[in-house]
Structure 1
Amino acid sequence: MDPFSSEGELLSIHNAFHQGQLTTVIEHNSSALAPENVIKAQVYKYRARIALGEAEEVSAELEGEDSPELAAVKALAAYTTGNTSIAAADIAKVISSSSKNGTVQVIGGIILHLEGKSDDAVALLSEHQGNLEAVSLIVQIRLCQNRTDLALKEVQAAKRWAQDSLLVNLAESWVGLRVGGEKYQQAYYVFEELAQAPSTSTAPTLVGQAVAEIHLGRLEEAEVALQQALAKDPKHAQALANAIVLSVLAGKDNSDQLSLLRNTMPDHPLLTDLEQKSELFDRAAAKYAAKITA
């Protein structure tokens, strides 16, 4: 078996997963993969199924699996179905025994971050040995922490050894959208290139393009990109969230998008933030409410 061919096939699966081509990942024929790459492909396929709403089925299929990779995937499936305490305990066990495993680092980092243990997630992910997904997750976590400086540092370090990789280009674009200025246009070019190609035009890439368009003040173009994203995936949470933001900027009604997002992902950060802001407003307004006396 040609090892270069096997690595190329795995890279195709890797890229398809991170471009949001989840069905392509699941249907990919992995028969040409070298034995050491088979489980890596399995992990991507299981994660794609979890993302498409098959977490319970994946969890059932992985019952009894004890390899670090599949145990980590099982924990992710459990977390996705709402069994968060069990999943957190399970992933902690896997991390304690297999913290050097790339899949364990990535899935462990995801669950730790979701559990509010972002610094622990970064510490685990930072143990990676050339794992681009670990890099991209560190960048995302640093951006969530409003540490753009550390996110930028991570991207710059990765560019020294993975200049042309998809994930590094995407991570640099995410940081660019936070830095602003001329970086908005640079990020737009990356997302536009992905969105224009038939093989990589997916809801996530179209959302990235739309966000860049919003920052550049091109609201009509952003609306077109978001409409295309929702045509591909009507329940794409980030497309819906950005459609809500865009409607506010454009002065349009967003009640339909809000309703869809509540049904699709009721704990989406945008909805949580809106609820918190609404409560703060009501509290502030109550202080100035007219007091009625008998």
Structure 2
Amino acid sequence: MDPFSSEGELLTIHNAFHGGQYSAVINHDTSGLSAENSIPSTVYKLRSQIAIGQAEEVAIELEGQDNPDLAVLKAFAEYSQGSTENAVKIVESLVGSSSDNATVQIIGATILHAEGRSEEALTLLSRHQGSLEAVALVVQIRLSQNRTDLALKEVLNAKRWAQDSLLVNLAESWVGLRIGGEKYQQAYYVYEELAQTPSTSAPRTLIGQAVAELHLGRLPEAEVALQQALEKNPKHEDALANMIVLSILAGKEIDEYLSSLQNTAPSHPFLTDVAQKSELFDKSAAKYRAKA
């Protein structure tokens, strides 16, 4: 077996997964992969199943697995179904015993961050050995902490050894959207190029393109990209959330998109953030009500 063809095939799966082409990953024939690349390809397939709502099937399939890669994916599948307490316990155990495992680092950090334990997630990710996904996740966490400076530092370090990587380009565009100015246009170019590539032209890419268009004030173009994303997946929660934002900016009705998002993902960050801000507004407004 040609190891180079096997590596190239794994890279194709890697790019398809991070481009949001989950069905393509699941259906990809991996019978020709080397033994070394078999586990990583299986991990991508199982993560793709979880991403499209097949977490229960994955959890059942992985019952009793003690391989760290598969055990942490079972925990992730359970977490995705709402069994958070047990999933977190499994992750904590695996972090203690297998913190050098790349899948444990990525999935473990994802769950820890979701639980509000971001510093623990960053500590775990700091153990990675040349993992671009770990770099991308660190960037996401730093941006969520409003530490754009540290996110940018992470990207610049990664560019020294992975200049043309899909994940590095995406991470740079995330930071660019936060920095603003001319970086908006640069981020747009990244997403525009990805949208023209079959392996990465998934809703996620179109949403990124639309967000860049929104920042550039190009509302009609942003709407086209979001409509394309919703045509590919009518229930894509991030596409719905951004369509609500666009509709507000354009002075259009939001009821249809808001209802769809509430039904599809009632705990989506957009909805919880709006609810929190609404509550804070009501509390502030109450202080200025005329006394009877």
Alignment TM-score > 0.5, same fold: yes
Question: Cα deviation per residue 1:162-211 (whole Å; 9 max; x = unaligned)?
Answer: 00000000000000000111111110001001112334211000000000
Q: Which has the higher contact order (CA 8 A, sep 6+)?
A: 2
Q: Which residue of 2 aligns with 1:172?
A: 172
What SS is found at the alignment partner of 1:116? coil
Q: Which residue of 1 aligns with 2:10?
A: 10
The letter of the residue matching 2:230 is: L
Cα distance in 2 for residues equivalent to 1:161 and 1:285? 53
The answer as to 2:81 corresponding to 1:81 is yes
Cα distance in 1 for residues equivalent to 2:200 and 2:8? 17
What SS is found at the alignment partner of 1:40? helix
The answer as to 2:135 corresponding to 1:153 is no
Q: Aligned-pair distance for 1:287?
A: 2.6
The letter of the residue matching 2:104 is: V
Name structure 2 gaps, 5 residues minimum.
none
The letter of the residue matching 2:23 is: T
The answer as to 2:106 corresponding to 1:106 is yes
Q: Aligned-pair distance for 1:113?
A: 0.3
Question: TM-score of the superposition, structure 1-length normalised?
Answer: 0.97
Q: Aligned-pair distance for 1:2?
A: 1.1
The letter of the residue matching 1:26 is: I
Q: Aligned-pair distance for 1:281?
A: 1.8
Cα distance in 2 for residues equivalent to 1:154 and 1:36? 28
Cα distance in 2 for residues equivalent to 1:41 and 1:110? 19
Cα distance in 1 for residues equivalent to 2:58 and 2:131? 24
The letter of the residue matching 1:121 is: A
Cα distance in 2 for residues equivalent to 1:115 and 1:280? 23
Q: Which residue of 2 aligns with 1:91?
A: 91
Question: Cα deviation per residue 1:136-181 (whole Å; 9 max; x = unaligned)?
Answer: 0000000000000000000000000000000000000000000111
Q: What does 1:191-270 correspond to in 2, within 5 Å?
A: 191-270=191-270
Task: State the number of aligned residues.
Answer: 292
Cα distance in 2 for residues equivalent to 1:101 and 1:149? 28
Query: Is 2:15–2:199's contact at 8 Å kept on the other side of the alignment?
Result: no
Cα distance in 2 for residues equivalent to 1:228 and 1:251? 20
What SS is found at the alignment partner of 1:163? coil
The letter of the residue matching 1:252 is: K
The letter of the residue matching 2:219 is: L
Cα distance in 2 for residues equivalent to 1:197 and 1:96? 40
Q: Aligned-pair distance for 1:289?
A: 3.0
Name structure 1 gaps, 5 residues minimum.
none
Q: Which residue of 1 aligns with 2:72?
A: 72
Computed over aligned residues only, the root mean square deviation of the Cα atoms, in angstroms, reads 0.9
Q: Which residue of 2 aligns with 1:134?
A: 134
Cα distance in 2 for residues equivalent to 1:168 and 1:278? 36
Question: Cα deviation per residue 1:38-78 (whole Å; 9 max; x = unaligned)?
Answer: 11111110100001111011001100000000001001001
Query: Is 2:207–2:225's contact at 8 Å kept on the other side of the alignment?
Result: yes
Cα distance in 2 for residues equivalent to 1:253 and 1:290? 33
Q: Aligned-pair distance for 1:262?
A: 1.0
Identical positions, percent? 68
What SS is found at the alignment partner of 1:49? helix
Q: Which residue of 2 aligns with 1:33?
A: 33
Cα distance in 1 for residues equivalent to 2:10 and 2:103? 14
